[in-house]
Amino acid sequence: MAARKLAITGGRVIDPAQGIDRVADVLISNGKIEEVTESSSGTAPEGYEVLDASGKIVSPGFVDLHTHLRDPGQEWKETIVTGTRAAAHGGFTTISAMPNTDPVQDSAAVVDDVMRRSAADGVVRVLPIGAISIGQKGKQLAPMGELADSGVIGFSDDGNPVSDANLMRQALSYSAELGLPIINHAEDKKIGAGGVMSAGAVATRLGLAGVPAEAETVMVARDLHLADLTKARVHIPHISTVGSLVALQSAKECGVDVTAEVTPHHLTLNDEWVFGLKGEVPDTIGSEAYDTNTKVNPPLRSRADVEAVIDALGEGLIDIIATDHAPHADTDKVCTYNEAAHGINVLETAFSSVFQLVDPGKLSIVRLIESLTAGPAKILRKDLGSLKKGFSADVAIIDPGSKWVVDPTLFESKSVNSPLAGLELEGRVVTTIYQGETVFDLSPVAEAGAKQ
């Protein structure tokens, strides 16, 4: 493994961390990046295996700051094995495991177990996120110093936002000393109580209880004020509303140490997808309505919110894209909309879905790749997300012209809860390399529809 020498030749190399966007060759040796050449020679040095990337984009491997692996405790939904394989199929070479496992990642023992099994069984890098509070109950702080020593990259109670402002202040104060970010689910659950989709005309027409946008905005504003007070790092997950963007803009202008992410689904889907017609608005409500695969938290928002977060990502106000990959079993989704679990299966469709914004000019390909590579690596403060010499040889190769139909039954993930089923997308990760080894390759057999 360590002795492999590989030359990826003839591709358009895009590495925003280094300001590279040119046709070049990428040389890999001993699991590390050896060089990105000034141009492509079309040949490789003697002794190198050749991977021809002509007509394709060569990017650093993607980095995800928000992944649910469900392992330990809910292995029927996902495991470290299936989750990391799904990540590789989506071009991700680093994923950050959220702490809402059973047991919760609120102790060094649980974190150590996840890291050990990820190193042994995973096909890409797994970085754990520790819980803010014991059991994610929002009552008592988890041993944050112990968790930091065990290798967590931040702290979050995931879908259980810390509602106690004083506890959040304490968590931010401790995290500031540790140099790690707090990632608090942006929702005031009392404001959104009982809601199952975004409040608005679509919810009214479908007769579903709505979640006001203020449920997110109020929590975002509170956490930004507390971060300013404590001089701590705060990362806003899955931002989705205009009001939250206003608060984010103000905080950044005032020097608050804040970063923010947006998911692929909040960039590309809106609340009209709940009608079950891939975003089309029906004349009458049919049997296909109430597509439970569109139920997510925060909920899919209005068209105006979607356009606003696209603009904010393009301008850099929103720093990165993170998947919030949330696999669920059929029993969690084959039910009424009110009963359905929140979450969308995202890792294997993330790049392709957002790539649809590139052709109409809503997002540049360089900014898209930056938001999946250099951006999250900067938040992690790790030597990832770039093809710099000496960095781990983590690479995603993209065929921008490849068209494919989303078939969740072919996912590497254990779960199939994707609202994109049956949708044709253009642009696809065709090869993923992790530490110099190929962990995914879309062969001609796979193009024909066979699962790799």
Tell me which H or E stretch contains 244: helix 242-253
Q: Return the structure tokens found at 323.
A: 């998947």
Of 427, 443, 434, 437, the residue nearest 56 (C-alpha): 427
- By annotation, the residues acting in catalysis are 324
Please give the Cα distance from 422 to 435 (Å, whole number).
33
- Look-up: residue for tokens 């393009």? 314
Three-class SS state of 211:
strand
Separation of first and last alpha carbons in the chain: 21
Pairing outcome for strands 57-60 and 395-405 = antiparallel
Q: Confirm if 384 and 435 have CB atoms less than 8 A apart.
A: no
Of 431, 430, 434, the residue nearest 393 (C-alpha): 434
Q: Confirm if 7 and 51 have CB atoms less than 8 A apart.
A: yes
Phi-psi region of 177 (alpha: psi -120 to 50; beta: other; left: phi over 0): alpha
